[in-house]
Chains A and B, each alone.
Chain A
Amino acid sequence: MKRKFNRIFLVLSGIFIMILAVSSLVMVLFFPELLSFGTSDNSEATRELFAMDTYITMTAYGRDVETAVSEAADKLTELEQLWSVTEPESEIYAVNHSNGQAVSVSSETEDLLSFALQMAEETKGALEPTIYPVLTAWGFTTEENRVPSDSEITELLKNVGYERVHMEDGSVWLENGIMLDLGAVGKGYAGDLAAQILRDNGITSALLDLGGNIQTIGKKPDGSFWKLGLQDPFSEGTLGILEISNKAVVTSGAYERYFIGEDGKRYGHIIDPVTGYPAENGLASVTVIADEGRLCDALSTSLFVMGADRAMEYWQLHQNFDMILITEDGEIYLTDGIADMFTLDSYHSNMKVNVIEDE
């Protein structure tokens, strides 16, 4: 009798557990649907275009979103015509080919240039808007890569120096031999201006992807953060996810564009203005997160040139941005402001993560 009772008890408990398991399974499977209620009457617009030497995608949500996105796209195309180094119609081209004559420029170019010069000053020349001739010698502007000789680089470096760019009352002139290229900050600035147009049109949620430079407005329409994958500098995939809102993010790394020289060595496209050679200091990539795209763009390049130690010093001094440094040895350094916003994906969970704190 007792045995029989026990068996019944066992069967009953088995059935109970089975029901529990099945119901929790059903819950888990349908939970996402329960959560995602339809969002408000926001409409969505996406625009893709090729400008600023890169592929741009804009996605915005809100009322009148089509007009807003069109205006932003027009602005980007217009800015490209102002800032291209190679287009003979551009303002930068005019400045570069005026033989030292003062050229009057638009207010956008003036703002961009004064920002670039100010950042060059602040980074002690790690950001160098006049590095173009050296970049060309390495072939990074023409895709005909080669390793220039030491003497050639020394010669070219004589014509590099942001102090020799002069600006007054909306006119710009360069000292002899200087070439201006605002590529290192132009994309970020263009993103800022495009985002500003969207904001002026009442857009409260948008994502601008300027060839990997990301600019976000507000949060996603459902109120969650934008989820951005961070490129793994060592492979094709992503390394982790960064969740942000209302910020711009830019990454610089030699992995973006490089060539293998005849000596088998890898040469990256970010040139150290002091040596004239590709920056090589143990960093694989630098990601900067800040309110403005122009700051991100300028800092990601210059911090990459500085190397990890000087980049951290720079952050301690300014602290108006956050950054993620990835070293060639596969270590990650991130500032404590975004430490909670960044998660490594499961493939990279064994990478060492160091949080940089305010000293």
Chain B
Amino acid sequence: MNVRKLTQLAMLTGVALIIFVIELQIPNPFPIPGVKLGLANIITVYAIYRYRAKEVMMIVFCRIFLAAMFSGNMMALVYSFAGSILCLTGMLGLRKIIDMSHIWISSIFGAILHNIGQISIAVLVMGKGILVYFPFLLVSGCFAGAFTGICAQLFIKRKTDDIRYD
């Protein structure tokens, strides 16, 4: 990995973190655990269509870890990790099938998988009662996923250079 690539990844991680911190300041209109827009995932989606699987994971896991430290919510780490692992696996698989002009579909899948990962951990920790949230998470996941997906898509369109998974 050359310095240029390393700098790019570090930049993306930094941008994702800034977005995350800004989103923290916006009060959540839906006070349901697990429901949020997840704007930082714009960077995740973008990275998935621009970088190798290994590099995407580096960005995402660094971001999650630092975000947990910044927000002082280390408990959230477990949930984020479970969600992200599922989400990344799914999206990295899907990027071969879904082309650049339908990134938002891939992003919806990512969001739903993320929510599934989170709720699985929540069920383990809190018991089955928490499952009543699942339908709401699905709906919110669809909206949040579509939104971040469209943002990422616009972002990528602005970049004129060819897309290679290099």
Interface residues of A (CB under 8 A from B): 346-347, 349-350
Contacts and interface: CB of A to CB of B under 8 A. Distances in A.
Contacts of A349: 127-128
B129 interface: yes
A350 B127 CA distance: 8
Interface in B120-162: 127-129
A349 B128 CA distance: 8
A346 B127 CA distance: 7
B98 to A, nearest CB: 15
9 contacts: A346-B127, A346-B128, A346-B129, A347-B127, A347-B128, A347-B129, A349-B127, A349-B128, A350-B127
B133 to A, nearest CB: 14
Nearest to A348: B127
Interface of B: 127-129
Contacts of B129: 346-347
Contacts of B127: 346-347, 349-350
Nearest first, the 5 closest Cβ-Cβ pairs linking A and B are: A346-B128, A347-B127, A346-B129, A349-B128, A346-B127
Contacts of A346: 127-129
A346 to B, nearest CB: 4
A280 to B, nearest CB: 30
A349 B129 CA distance: 11
A12 B129 CA distance: 36
A88 to B, nearest CB: 53
B131 to A, nearest CB: 9
Nearest to B128: A346
A347 B131 CA distance: 12
B142 to A, nearest CB: 13
A349 B126 CA distance: 12
Contacts of A347: 127-129
A346 B123 CA distance: 11
Given A346-B128, A347-B128, A349-B127, 6 more contacts: A346-B127, A346-B129, A347-B127, A347-B129, A349-B128, A350-B127
A347 B129 CA distance: 7
Contacts of A350: 127
B49 to A, nearest CB: 23
B108 to A, nearest CB: 15
Nearest to A350: B127
Nearest to B129: A346
Nearest to B124: A350
A277 to B, nearest CB: 37
Contacts of B128: 346-347, 349
Nearest to A347: B127
B60 to A, nearest CB: 31
Nearest to B126: A347
A296 B127 CA distance: 33
B78 to A, nearest CB: 18
B123 to A, nearest CB: 10
A46 to B, nearest CB: 32
B125 to A, nearest CB: 11
A250 B127 CA distance: 29
A346 B129 CA distance: 7
B105 to A, nearest CB: 12
A191 to B, nearest CB: 35
A347 B127 CA distance: 6
A346 B131 CA distance: 11
A346 B132 CA distance: 12
A169 B162 CA distance: 106
A239 to B, nearest CB: 13
A241 to B, nearest CB: 15
A6 to B, nearest CB: 13
Nearest to A345: B128
B101 to A, nearest CB: 13
A350 B129 CA distance: 13
A123 B128 CA distance: 41
A346 B130 CA distance: 10
Nearest to A349: B128
A312 B122 CA distance: 37
B122 to A, nearest CB: 14
A21 to B, nearest CB: 12
A346 B128 CA distance: 6
A6 B18 CA distance: 40
A325 B68 CA distance: 44
A346 B126 CA distance: 11
A349 B127 CA distance: 8
B124 to A, nearest CB: 9
